[in-house]
Amino acid sequence: MDSAHHRIKVIVPIPMDAAGVANRRGQLAPETIAPGFEPVFEAVKWGAALGDSYHDMLLMDWTVFQAGLHAEEDGFAAVVVDTVSDSGVRALRSRLSIPVIGPGEAAFHMAMMLGKRFTILTMWPEWFPLYEKTLTDYHLHDRCASLRSINTRPDVTELLAGKEDVIFAKLEAEARAAIDQDGADVIVLGSTTMHQSAAHLAKLLPIPVINPGVVAWKQAELLVTLGLSHSKRAFPSPEVPKDADITKGWT
């Protein structure tokens, strides 16, 4: 493979058809992809439906881990997980030496480079446990001004298409409440499935709006370009890998 051509695997944590994957791929406009990089989006082959429960959180961790297990040997330069829940990220870092990026971690830390306290703005409160887990893992609870939702059941395949007028207004109202009532100085969108609202909100709000999927992608490009990856002291490899068992019966 040409050394100037870097393929990055982007794992969608919900099983879906090619049209659904294409909608997720739409978060990366051509101008956001640096020369020499190619995103390869792939959905898990089985697993969770909505990420709305601890049941689904476990399935997302497991199936994303399965989907990324062979990325390094398949020649990918990095892995990005296409969910702010950062499902499977730490397990994949343990198994792989190439960079593995979660949009939640990337977005939260970007928010802390641009402000002091951020609000996670999301579709429905059923996703709050996803953020509570990652905020705990990253020791960022005290930097999070609030979790806010618009109490609207998400469509993880069709995303926001056709519902922009209603959804965008609700998101703007909650974002303004986060600024005025919670002290937020940065907004982080709570899902990569909300990417269609990012530019609209950024134009209307007086504070930065973080689009997590794009930030995660650019972070992956940065690490590959600089030749950096996660510390194996922090994420040690297993002494006895179980690759065959992990993928057994998974076709």
In tens digits, the chain (251 residues) has pLDDT values of 445 799 999 999 999 999 999 999 999 999 999 999 999 999 999 999 999 999 999 999 999 999 999 999 999 999 999 999 999 999 999 999 999 999 999 999 999 999 999 999 999 999 999 999 999 999 999 999 999 999 999 999 888 988 888 999 999 999 999 999 999 999 999 999 999 999 999 999 999 999 999 999 999 999 999 999 999 999 999 999 999 898 876 55
Under a CB-based contact definition with an 8 Å cutoff, are residues 107 and 210 in contact? Answer: yes
182: CB partners within 8 A, 6+ apart: 117, 119, 145, 146, 148
Dist CA 123 CA 121 (whole Å): 7
16: CB partners within 8 A, 6+ apart: 24, 43, 156, 157
Angstrom CA distances, 32 to 20, 42, 160, 205, 214, stand at 20, 19, 21, 22, 8
202-205-208 Cα angle (round to 5): 55
Q: Which of 111, 110, 105 has the alpha carbon at shortest distance from 93?
A: 105
Strands 118-122 and 186-189: parallel
pLDDT of residue 3: 52
Dist CA 162 CA 166 (whole Å): 9
Angstrom CA distances, 215 to 32, 102, 173, 219, stand at 10, 10, 24, 6
Q: Helix 103-114 and helix 128-137: axis angle, to 10°?
A: 70
